[in-house]
């Protein structure tokens, strides 16, 4: 297998891990004002992701670093053309992180809870907008520079993608809270998951039908629908672990649909002659070889450590300190 293909797949895996893990963080933040009836509930909701949320964000940092090192042309075009949306995502992530760190150190938590909510909702929406544009294609010139505007990115299909990821992550957060809490809070999380599931299935299916291309994408689309349906069924019968697993499978399949539809491009242009591909956007073979050895050594260590973290904090939360 070509090293360019290996790194395209690895970057897809990194984004998949980020969306699966950070996805429920976003969902928890979005659901905070709706499920947290009092400070004890809200504190428990925040505690549910307290030990893991910052580790989940590492997947984004590694995905960005891998893109810069393996496909520098892709990185340059993406971060220059999508500068404002990506800046807004970064600002929201900073605001969310500050809120999580400081809400327990303040006499009043209302402002921090609002920051947590908007800092979660913004990225959940904007990641869908960004990736839909990447898959569908954007205006690039012969030098691979973006020639559109912000409003070019805010097209109807991209906004549909944003709503789809927003719903998908919110439902993922609901089933995560059902898995991690007990009592009335868990019951409210289950009800939220049941209400969100049908809408998420409909919007997600419409979005995937628009962006998918190729036989592999059809298979990924079918798996995504099966995962969403499995989430609903498992939630209805009270199997929280299976519901969360099915929700994670759906996110994996949605991300696979996006990346398989993208291949062999990394940044399609409206004029195919100007598209960035895994060939013309890649680093030198020597760079890719060195990176492959580094990834082979350190990736398993990171996965083992993060898996251990989740195992240590696996118990349900019964109340706030």
| Within-domain flag for 80 | yes
Q: What is the secondary structure of 223-276 as a DSSP string?
A: HHHHHHHHHHHHHHTT-HHHHHHHHHHHHHHHHHHHHHHHTTEEE-BSSGGG-E
Whole-number Å distance between alpha carbons of 49 and 56: 10
Q: Tokens 């291949």, residue?
A: 263
Contacts 24+ apart (CB under 8 A), 6-9: 6/288, 6/292, 7/66, 7/70, 7/71, 7/278, 7/282, 7/288, 7/291, 7/292, 8/71, 8/259, 8/263, 8/264, 8/266, 8/278
Residue 108, Cβ neighbours under 10 Å: how many? 8
| Within-domain flag for 319 | no
Mean pLDDT of 15-37: 93
Tens of pLDDT, residue by residue over 122-137, are 999 999 999 999 988 8
Task: Name residues whose C-beta falls within 8 Å of residue 242's C-beta, 6 or more positions apart in sequence.
Answer: 230, 234
Whole-number Å distance between alpha carbons of 64 and 202: 31
284-308 b/e with 16+ CB inside 10 Å = b? Answer: eeeebeebeeebeeeeeeeeeebee
Query: 3-35 vs 53-70: helix axis angle to the nearest 10?
Result: 150
| Within-domain flag for 179 | yes
Instruction: Please indicate whether residue 265 or residue 314 has the higher confidence score (pLDDT).
Output: 265
| Within-domain flag for 318 | no
Share of the chain above pLDDT 90, in %: 37
Number of structural domains found in the chain? 1
Q: Tokens 């439902």, residue?
A: 171
Residue 321's pLDDT band (cuts 50, 70, 90): very low
- Rounded to 5°, the CA angle 99-105-111 comes to 40
**Looking at the whole model, is its pTM more than 0.85?**
yes
| Within-domain flag for 317 | no
| Within-domain flag for 266 | yes
| Within-domain flag for 203 | yes
User: What integer best gives the mean pLDDT of the chain?
Assistant: 88
pLDDT reading at 1 higher than 70: no
Tens of pLDDT, residue by residue over 200-248, are 999 988 888 888 766 567 788 888 889 989 998 998 888 988 999 999 9
DSSP letter (8 states) at residue 52: T
pLDDT reading at 304 higher than 70: yes
What is the model's pLDDT at position 80? 86
| Within-domain flag for 320 | no
- Domain of residue 133, CATH code: 1.20.1630.10
Tens of pLDDT, residue by residue over 52-96, are 888 888 888 888 888 988 899 999 888 888 888 899 999 999 999
Whole-number Å distance between alpha carbons of 167 and 207: 12
Tell me phi and psi for residue 265, to 5 degrees. -80, 160
Structural domain boundaries enclosing 268: 3-312
Tens of pLDDT, residue by residue over 159-185, are 999 999 999 999 999 999 999 888 899
Whole-number Å distance between alpha carbons of 4 and 18: 21
Sign of the CA dihedral running 131, 135, 136, 138:
positive
């Amino acid at each position: 297998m070509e090293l360019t293909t290996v790194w395209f797949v690895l970057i897809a895996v990194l984004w998949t891990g980020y969306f699966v893990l950070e996805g429920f963080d976003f969902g928890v933040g979005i659901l905070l004002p709706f499920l947290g009836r009092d400070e004890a509930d809200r504190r428990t909701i925040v505690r549910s992701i307290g030990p893991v949320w910052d580790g989940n964000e590492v997947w984004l940092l590694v995905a960005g670093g891998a893109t810069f090192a393996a496909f520098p042309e892709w990185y340059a075009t993406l971060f220059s053309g999508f500068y404002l949306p990506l800046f807004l995502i970064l600002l929201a992530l900073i605001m969310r992180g500050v809120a999580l760190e400081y809400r327990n150190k303040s006499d009043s938590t209302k402002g921090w809870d609002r920051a947590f909510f908007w800092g979660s909702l913004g990225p959940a929406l904007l990641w869908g907008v960004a990736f839909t544009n990447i898959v569908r294609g954007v205006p690039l010139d012969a030098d691979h520079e973006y020639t559109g505007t912000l409003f070019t990115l805010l097209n109807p299909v991209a906004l549909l993608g944003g709503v789809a990821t927003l719903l998908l992550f919110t439902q993922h957060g609901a089933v995560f809270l059902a898995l991690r809490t007990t009592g009335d809070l868990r019951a409210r999380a289950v009800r939220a998951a049941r209400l969100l599931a049908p809408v998420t299935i409909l919007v997600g299916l419409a979005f995937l039908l628009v962006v998918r291309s190729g036989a592999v994408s059809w298979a990924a689309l079918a798996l995504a629908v099966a995962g969403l349906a499995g989430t609903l069924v498992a939630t209805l019968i009270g199997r929280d672990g299976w519901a969360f697993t099915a929700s994670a499978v759906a996110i994996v399949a949605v991300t696979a649909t996006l990346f398989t539809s993208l291949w062999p491009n990394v940044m399609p242009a409206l004029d195919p002659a100007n598209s960035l591909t895994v060939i013309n956007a890649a680093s030198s073979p020597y760079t890719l070889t060195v990176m492959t050895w580094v990834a082979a050594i350190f990736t398993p260590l990171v996965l083992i450590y993060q898996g251990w973290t989740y195992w240590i904090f696996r118990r349900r939360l019964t109340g706030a300190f």
